[in-house]
Amino acid sequence: MQQFSSCSSMLAFLAGVAALGQAAEPAPAPLGARGSVGCGMNATRVERLSITRPGTYENMLVDGQWTDSTLVKITADNVTLRNCEIRNGKHNAVTVYAQDVTIESCKIHHVLAGTHEDQRDAHGITGRPTNLTIRNCDIGLTSGDSIQFDPGRGEWDNVLIENCTLWTGPLPEDAAGFKKGQRPGENAIDTKQRATNPRSRLTIRNCVFYGWSQPSQISNMAALNLKNHVEARIENCLFRDNEICFRVRGGAGEYGGAQVRIENCAVYQSQVAVRAEDGIRDLKIHRLGLGDGVGKRLVTAGREPGAGFEDSGEFRPPPLAEAIKVGLSR
pLDDT by residue (tens digit) across 234-267? 999 999 999 999 999 999 899 999 999 999 999 9
- 3 state SS of 260: strand
pTM score, whole prediction: 0.91
pLDDT by residue (tens digit) across 26-44? 667 789 999 999 999 999 9
Supply the DSSP symbol for 30: P
Q: According to the model, what pLDDT value does residue 10 have?
A: 45
**What domains, with CATH codes, occur in the chain?**
45-326 (2.160.20.10)
The helix (H) or strand (E) run that includes residue 9 is helix 7-21
232 in Cβ contact with 202 (< 8 Å): yes
Which among 182, 159, 298, 305 has a CA at the least distance from the CA of 234?
A: 159
pLDDT by residue (tens digit) across 162-212? 999 999 999 999 999 999 999 999 999 999 999 999 999 999 999 999 999
- Cis status of the peptide bond prior to 198, with omega within 30 of 0: no
